[in-house]
Chains A and B, each alone.
Chain A
Amino acid sequence: MDIDAESLSLIQRKQSLYVSQDERFLLGLQKYKGQQYSHIYFFRLYKMREQFRSLINHQHPNLPVHTVLGLEVGKQCIIVGTLYKQMKLKPSVLDEYSKERSAVPLVKPHNFLHPDDHLILEDESGRVKLIGDVVKPSDYVTGVVLAVHGEETSDGDFLVHKIVEAGLPPQIKIPQEAKEDKYVAFVSGLSVGSIKSNPLQIQLLVDLLTGHLGDDKEQNVASQITRIVIAGNSVELQQGLLAGQSLASKDQSKLSEPIKEFDLLLTQLAAAMPVDIMPGPHDPANYSLPQQPLHKCLFPGASAYNTFVSSPNPHSFYLDDVGFLGTSGQNIDDLAKYSEAKEKLDFMERTLRWRHLAPTAPDTLGCYPFTDRDPFVVESCPHVYFVGNQNKYGTQLLKGSEGQLARLISIPRFCETGVAVMLNLRNLECHPLSFSCET
């Protein structure tokens, strides 16, 4: 094209200051060496008990705090412990072995709740069954640390009078109000290589973000996008190909084709702006949380740019002093299997109030057996909390009792909805960006 560069005003992309907070999610040299999962529960309880201590002192100064062992029948007290939910329908790896193969194939329920489920509170000293209407088993899952006020009954159960709410974790205030609009784009579930994904639709997204679409006005908007976060499931590989022993050469390329295609898209993005890419359950990454960053050898094109950041899942960072925390969706999907809520956003709210990102890890959600920490405890409330690969777009602004503000975003799968999400750093407002291409 023969256009005089002078005649066009050069639009400069805005920038934001990026500080990674991912260190706690990186495994580094930690290896599987026969560790077990008891440590992670131990650290979780230890950390949470610390946080509850001041809360209880403040809210219930007169009530004694006991261990499960120290309970006495009829005496009111508070106990802090990890929940274990006894579930009738919970699938077990043992079923593959011990049960006779039934003649009728089992229909897998979408979630494993049953009216007989009940909660047990456990600390280092023992376990006690929780009863009473205050704690609904369907709301809770195994692994949540809870403080409850109540008393032991003569049957040896614990009758709960009240739950001591931890509430949102403390938050660092955003130092000063930003004056200009700056946006962060979120997208998840591109699923390059799946039959559901539409290459044109994805290209439209890339073009819009990189400013190759529309007139000045639109390009101006594009220039305000300072970062894009890709929250998991970027590619989809044919599952059958990975299991076998050796592959024919045409199958070898099937394994690498979608990734090459995706690398091309990433390269375009990275050339224009900073990109964070998180692994998701379908990506070529490990299974257990925290999922480690996607290997750079997968993206020879994009990884040449210093704007390309391969991050772990969960992912946490500051952008212009605004705190972000997010996952590719596994934590929320697992909650939906083992508990109940009206909307996915409610699950997200619960995890913040429980101050734990993924309580069902390690019980039903794969997780690395940490021996020195529980990286999923949310000690400081993020300003933006996002979860990828959900059914539909949803958002909510959560306000805490101490003035905390948290923007919850559920990012839909792009390949099914064509929706990306834009967040304004100035006021934490958020809107969907919909792409469609009728053919």
Chain B
Amino acid sequence: MMNKKRLATNPASVPPQSKKRTEEEDVIDEMDEDVFVEETLLLREEEDLLYQDSGLSARLSKWKRPQLSPQFSPHSTSIVFQQLEIDYVIGESHRQLLPQASGPVAILRIFGVTKEGHSVCCHVHGFQPYFYISCPDGMGPDDISRFHQILEGRMRDANRSSKAPRFILRIDLVQKRSIMYYQERKSHAFLKIVVALPTMVASCRGILERGLQIDGLGLKSFTTYESNVLFALRFMIDCKVVGGNWIELPAGQYQKTARSISYCQLEVDCLYTVLISHAPDGEFSKMAPFRILSFDIECAGRKGLFPEPSHDPVIQVANLVTLQGEDRPLIRNVMTLKSCSPIVGVDVMSFDTEREVLLAWRDFIREIDPDIIIGYNICKFDLPYLIERAEALKITEFPILGRIRNSRVRIKDTTFSSRQYGTRESKEVAIEGRVQFDLLQVMQRDYKLSSYSLNSVSAHFLGEQKEDVHHSIISDLQNGNSETRRRLAVYCLKDAYLPQRLLDKLMFIYNYVEMARVTGVPISFLLARGQSIKVLSQLLRKAKEKDLVIPNVKGQGSGQDTFEGATVLEAKSGFYENPIATLDFASLYPSIMMAYNLCYCTLVMPDDIRKFNLLPECVNKSPSGETFVKPTLQKGILPEILEELLAARKRAKADLKEAKDPFERAVLDGRQLALKISANSVYGFTGATVAQLPCLEISSSVTSYGRQMIEHTKRLVEERFKTLGGYKTDAEVIYGDTDSVMVQFGVPTVEEAMALGREAAEYICGTFTKPIKLEFEKVYYPYLLISKKRYAGLLWTNPEKFDKMDTKGIETVRRDNCLLVKNLVNECLHKILIDRDIPGAVQYVKNTISDLLMNRMDLSLLVITKGLTKTGDDYAVKAAHVELAERMRKRDAATAPTVGDRVPYVIIKAAKGAKAYERSEDPIFVLENNIPIDPQYYLENQISKPLLRIFEPILKNASRELLHGSHTRAVSISTPSNSGIMKFAKKQLTCIGCKTPIRNSEQTLCNHCKGREVELYNRTVANVSELEMLFGRLWTECQRCQGSLHQDVLCTSRDCPIFYRRKKAQKDLAEAELQLDRWQF
């Protein structure tokens, strides 16, 4: 029944080098890949592979999905399920459903879950891949069949190896219109070319684009339309299926699969025409009880090396399974290599060999059958590691993790690059039928953070620090006893638990499912692909309704065509102590596109303006010189999509206000967010030069309108709000950004500024074409404008109390700055804006600089952290952190950072002329050896720029005042204890009071200071007392964080703000006690 060959990608025959894929805004290489189901694998050998361990199988069986009701019958029961994943395979066509078809065909597989929690795999038959070309003039029905023959012949030549009986199934003449450019004729003749297999679309497109000889027409090449739409997406569009929606298979219209090939509880076959796709409203906006598996693995690395699957064993796998919508996990377990003491509430399974651990995990996956697999960095690390490790151990039966029986999981290297997200290398592990959701990828996509370690991400979102066990300690714990392995298991479990908590806290399931529903793409596309596929999906759906087709335009050149972007009005920098009103355009770019009907299909080609004889009142000419027709002649598709998105968002927000049920609220909130993001990405789609359908005429028109509006607003404000017009003072526009204008009305109170702001917004709004809307939202008071895109101010939305401090473009979160910069900038802004205390801010800066120079600074504030991405030789330029890693390796290979680690360092004092990269040092090493840091480096390279930026608009001579005042005169440098000349110095006791050397080691004070005994003792003991307090607070905090009182703190998380402080407190205290001891005479 299924094709015996796995043509393209049989894992056994695939060449070892993995296929690199460059995904430039996911265009050119976006191709379907036909996977053939291999029947040899379907032999019932699996019974031998499964359940070697009866104890294990008993354990696993209680976590199975709920049993199907015995009344279930395909003739009387409809199946309604929420689909999560759609893909296709090539198989033999279904005899009963499609009696007349033959040969290999594409069969779509929809995986999903019913609301009772049963897993579903639905094979959809009969949907065929196709695309369009425009029909050459004068080609009649007879010519078409001739054309069919020619094309079939060329296809056979091009695909000699293929055994397919037919390539081109049929060619239909249809009436459609291209989406590009305004046309007077409403329809043209197009040819719909239906091919046998999805991959043939690309091959056929190639032939047609290169051109072919046709009798009577000569060599002719064709523009193809909709020829690069992925097959699964094509199916979704044509059947009105959107990502994550509910699908109904009516009773009697589907059959149970005769011989099941998947592990799903319900496996059925049906024709694509019987599917009922439900719009995500009402009952169908809910979420099915998906099973979400969160997991983490631990590997025992060798000393000084990052674990490699070819050498280092997987020692633990922690799993957490949660049903969507429940706040407690269903299952918590951990699989360990060698014995492990029990853990409360956790099923600990210990095994003697690594093979058993891996196979137990595989069986676990199969039994609990997760719909979504989450974790932190699982796509790049955990999953590939498990698979490569199994390969290294020659456990061939391991990688059967998907829902298709005996289908092995494959690893592909992919490079994902897009303008918005930058280039990311990743590994793709395709697990059939299960969605992977790597929280690290999500974080990198959705949030700008200074660090993406699980520790700092959870500190940021969950407000808690995470214990971090260094990978060099992991092997020690593993090699200990069952207690130390238990310690490791607890740690591993926490790492599996945190992704789930992040998922819950940040509502990712709701937000991503809603995004899939709004944009119509499968959930897996959202993470794996760029922005443009989402807009394309909406465009294709809308175009289909209107009988428009979208041409396949090859990426327009190099991506260097640029157009004038959004300019900003010149910033009049300064410190404004009057309220500054801000006028904002609400969703500016979408509204411009709607207001001026900007679209592919309303754009008039320059030559056509005269040809069509368009009246001036029927067109809009944009400031950049493009002409678009008004909606009376042709309503644009993009404006229509935008209107729907914004209307839907309005509705979702209104429903959100009404909704009480927390799950419903989560869905609605996710939806309105998805709608907002989608509306804003439409503009970007037209402007991305290497995207599916770039159209710079549209995007440059949008920005030119935007510029015009900002300038128009500025002019109107400054014309109207004048003393001549009866206002107290002349208004002045001090700054304008992409979609907002800052106005100084010159009034002293927030209330007056708000009244004027409202008046201005209303007045100016009336002069714009609908739906462009200028809103007054907030007042900044006071407002520190540094330069364009850099400002800070207190934000007021009501006259009683400010809402928050708002900053933009100011160093508060840059990751390559030390914490000192962030603290200093924050504190200064706080003092300037909130306390309105400029002298205080200046004093604070001076004190901080003085502390820095006098060596009184907490070292953790000076630590700079950078990720080590490759080894030293691969870096073209010498970098501080790479050099340090090299030096640390020479010192102690076991604890030195390796590729993938983040390297923290401080800059130390060194010989004159030493390069910065030579002066980096490990903070721990610095602490232990009293190595002096280089305050000048921090002063000049870290804090001076951000400080001057803030203070220059406020202070005259800011640089001299802040950076060169008398407070910079006193300098103190600690004496290194183990380096250079100090090795030869002889230590001698000095008087505690005046540092005079003392001969007699019994004494504490010199004769001169004898009288100050009480005072000096007080100070010594006060120092001890302060450090003891700190010591206690720091170490007990770490105990709380690790979640155990009876066990030692092991954590070495250098991302944790108190890590160095804790070390330092320990050391300082020992030193202070020594001083105190000198009094015991």
Q: What are the residues of chain B within 8 A of A286 when measuring CB–CB?
A: 1021, 1024-1025, 1028, 1076
The reply to whether the CB of B1032 lies closer than 8 angstroms to some CB of chain A is yes
Which chain A positions have C-beta within 8 A of B612?
none
Q: Which listed residue (B1028, B1044, B1045) contacts A366, Cβ 8 A?
A: B1028
Check B1079 for interface membership: any CB of A closer than 8 A. yes
- Tell me which residues from 359 to 410 in chain A have a Cβ below 8 Å from any Cβ of chain B: 362-367, 369
Complex: how many Å from CA A45 to CA B1047? 13
A window 228-255: CB within 8 A of B:
237, 242-243, 245, 247, 252-253, 255
Interface members, chain B 729-755 (any A CB < 8 Å): none
- B1028 and A94 form a contact (CB under 8 A): no
Determine if B1028 and A242 form an interchain contact, defined as CB atoms under 8 angstroms apart: no
| Separation of A246 and B985 alpha carbons in the complex (Å) | 27
Can you list, as one digit per residue, whether each of A84-121 has a CB less than 8 Å from chain B (1) or not (0)? 10000000111001101101000000000000000000
Q: Are B344 and A156 closer than 8 Å at their CB atoms?
A: yes
Q: Is A71 within 8 A of B1021, CB to CB? A: no
Q: Is A93's CB under 8 angstroms from B1033's CB?
A: yes
Known A34-B1066, A93-B1058, A97-B1057: A68·B1015 in contact at CB below 8 Å: no
User: Does A177 belong to the interface (CB within 8 Å)?
Assistant: no
Question: When the two chains form their complex, are residues A366 and B1029 in contact, meaning their CB atoms are under 8 A apart?
Answer: yes
B473 CB contacts on chain A under 8 angstroms: none
In the assembled complex, A36 has its CB within 8 A of some CB on chain B: yes
User: Are B341 and A69 in contact (CB-based, < 8 A)?
Assistant: yes
**CB atoms of A36 and B1024 under 8 A apart:** no
- B343 proximal to A (CB < 8 A): yes
- In chain B between 329 and 356, which residues have their CB closer than 8 angstroms to a CB of chain A? 341-345
Interface flags for A285-318 (1: CB within 8 Å of B; 0: not) read: 1111000000101100000000000000000000
One of B717-725, B769-777, B1035-1043 at the interface: B1035-1043
Contact (Cβ within 8 A) A259 B1044 = no
Q: Which listed residue (A122, A260, A365) contacts B1044, Cβ 8 A?
A: A122
In chain B, positions 1041-1074 with a C-beta closer than 8 Å to chain A are 1043-1049, 1057-1058, 1066, 1069-1070, 1073
B1026 touching A297, Cβ below 8 Å: no
- A151: which B residues are within 8 A, CB to CB? none
Q: Which residues of B contact A287 (CB under 8 A)?
A: 1024-1026, 1028-1029, 1032
Question: Closest A-chain residue to B1070, C-beta based?
Answer: A32
Q: Which positions 358-395 of chain B face chain A at CB distance < 8 Å?
A: none
* Contacting pair B1032 A288 (CB below 8 A): yes
With A38-B1048, A93-B1034, A125-B341 known as contacts, the answer to whether A256 contacts B1039 (CB < 8 A) is no
The residues of B that contact A255 with a CB separation of less than 8 Å are 1014-1015, 1018-1019
Measured between beta carbons, the chain A residues less than 8 angstroms from B127 are: none
Chain B residues in 8 Å Cβ range of A369: 1035
Bound: A71/B344 CA distance, A: 8
CB within 8 Å of A: which of B81-127? Answer: none
Q: Smallest distance from the beta carbon of B1024 to chain A beta carbons, Å?
A: 5
Q: Are B1017 and A103 in contact (CB under 8 A)?
A: no
The A-B contact count (CB < 8 A) is 153
**With contacts A92-B1037, A256-B1012 known, is A103 near B804, CB below 8 A?**
yes
Q: Are A41 and B1045 in contact (CB under 8 A)?
A: yes
B1043–A127 contact, CB under 8 A? yes
A125 and B487 CA atoms in complex are apart in Å by: 10
Known contacts A284-B1018, A295-B1079, A362-B1036: does B1013 contact A101 (CB below 8 Å)?
no
Q: Are B1046 and A41 in contact (CB under 8 A)?
A: yes
Q: Does B172 contact A (CB under 8 A)?
A: no
Tell yes or no: B802 within 8 A of A by CB. yes
Could you tell me if B1028 and A69 are in contact, using CB atoms closer than 8 angstroms? no
Q: What are the residues of chain A within 8 A of B1012 when measuring CB–CB?
A: 252, 256
The answer to whether the Cβ of A124 comes within 8 Å of any Cβ in the partner chain is yes
A288–B1073 Cα distance when bound, in Å, is 13
Q: Report if B647 contacts A (CB, 8 A).
A: no
Chain B residues whose C-beta falls within 8 Å of the C-beta of A127 in the assembled complex: 344, 1043-1044
Q: Which residues from A are CB-within-8-Å of B834?
A: 103
Q: From B465, which residue of chain A is reached at the shortest CB distance?
A: A94
Cα of A146 to Cα of B298 in the assembled complex, Å: 35
A260 to B1015, CA, bound (A): 10
Q: How far is the CA of A291 from the CA of B637 in the complex (A)?
A: 79
Chain A proximity of B99: nearest CB distance (Å)? 54
B1022 adjacent to chain A (CB < 8 Å): yes
Assess whether B827 is interfacial by the CB under 8 Å rule. yes
A155 in the interface, Cβ–Cβ < 8 Å?
Answer: yes
Residues of B within 8 A of A125 (CB): 341-342, 344
**Distance in Å from the Cβ of A365 to the closest Cβ of chain B?**
8
Closest Cβ–Cβ distance, residue A132 to chain B (whole Å)? 17
Q: Is the interface of B mostly helix, strand, loop or mixed?
A: helix
Give the interface SS of chain A, mostly helix, strand, loop or mixed: loop
Quick one: closest A residue to B1077, CB to CB? A31
Cross-chain contact B1014 with A94 (CB below 8 angstroms): no
In the complex, whether B830 has a CB less than 8 A from a CB of chain A is: yes
Interface size class of B (residues with CB under 8 A): 35 or more
B484 at the interface (CB under 8 A from A): no
CB distance from A121 to the nearest CB of B (A): 10
Closest B residue by C-beta to A288: B1028
Given contacts A93-B1033, A284-B1018, A297-B1013, contact A45 B1073 (CB under 8 A): no
Q: Per-residue CB proximity of A13-42 to B under 8 Å, as 1/0?
A: 000000000000000000111101110011
* In contact, B1018 and A123 (Cβ under 8 angstroms): no
Asked if B1031 is an interface residue, CB under 8 A from chain A, the answer is: yes
Q: Contact between A32 and B1037 (Cβ–Cβ < 8 Å)?
A: no
* B1011 CB, min distance to chain A CBs, angstroms: 9
Closest to B1062 in A: A93
Tell me whether A101 and B1048 are in contact (CB under 8 A): no
Q: Tell me which residues across on chain A come within 8 A of B279, comparing CB atoms.
A: none
Chain B residues near A126: list those with CB within 8 A.
342-344
Q: Interface centre among B1032, B1037, B1048, by most A CB within 10 Å? A: B1032
- Which residues of the other chain, B, contact A68 by a CB distance below 8 angstroms? 344
* Residues A284 and B1029 in contact, CB atoms below 8 Å apart: no
Q: Give the complex CA separation of A82 and B1044 in angstroms.
A: 10
CA distance A36 to B1034 in the complex (A): 11
Closest Cβ of chain A to B348, distance in Å, is 10
* Cβ-closest chain A residue relative to B805: A103
Residues from chain A with a CB closer than 8 A to the CB of B1058 are 93-94, 97
> Bound state CA distance, A33 and B1067, in angstroms?
8
A433 to B50, CA, bound (A): 84
Is B826 in contact with chain A by the CB < 8 A criterion? yes
Rounded to whole angstroms, the CA-CA distance of A124 and B341 in the bound complex is 11
Q: Is the beta-carbon distance between B1032 and A285 smaller than 8 angstroms? A: no
Closest CB of chain B to A200's CB: distance in Å?
24
The chain B residue with its CB closest to the CB of A97 is: B1057
- Interface positions of B from 209 to 261, Cβ below 8 Å from A: none
B328 interface residue (CB < 8 Å to A): yes
A32, A36, A127, A142 interface centre (most CB from chain B within 10 Å): A32
Question: What mask results when residues 125 to 167 of chain A are scored 1 for a CB within 8 Å of chain B, else 0?
Answer: 1111000000000000011000000000001100000000000
A128/B830 contact (C-beta < 8 A), A38-B1047, A103-B804, A287-B1025 known:
no
Which of A36, A42, A242 is B1035 in contact with, Cβ under 8 Å?
A36
Interface residues of A (CB under 8 A from B): 31-34, 36-38, 41-42, 45, 68-69, 71, 82, 84, 92-94, 97-98, 100-101, 103, 122-128, 142-143, 155-156, 237, 242-243, 245, 247, 252-253, 255-256, 259-260, 284-288, 295, 297-298, 362-367, 369
Apart from A259-B1018, A297-B1013, A363-B1036, list 13 A-B contacts with CB within 8 A: A31-B1070, A32-B1066, A32-B1073, A38-B1044, A41-B1046, A82-B1046, A125-B344, A126-B342, A247-B1015, A255-B1019, A284-B1021, A286-B1028, A369-B1035
**Closest 6 interchain pairs by CB?**
A97-B1057, A287-B1025, A156-B345, A242-B1022, A256-B1014, A366-B1032
23 sampled A-B residue pairs with Cβ under 8 A? A32-B1066, A32-B1069, A34-B1066, A38-B1045, A42-B1046, A68-B344, A98-B465, A98-B1057, A101-B826, A101-B827, A101-B830, A103-B830, A122-B1044, A126-B342, A143-B1045, A252-B1015, A255-B1015, A284-B1018, A284-B1022, A288-B1029, A297-B1017, A298-B1018, A365-B1032
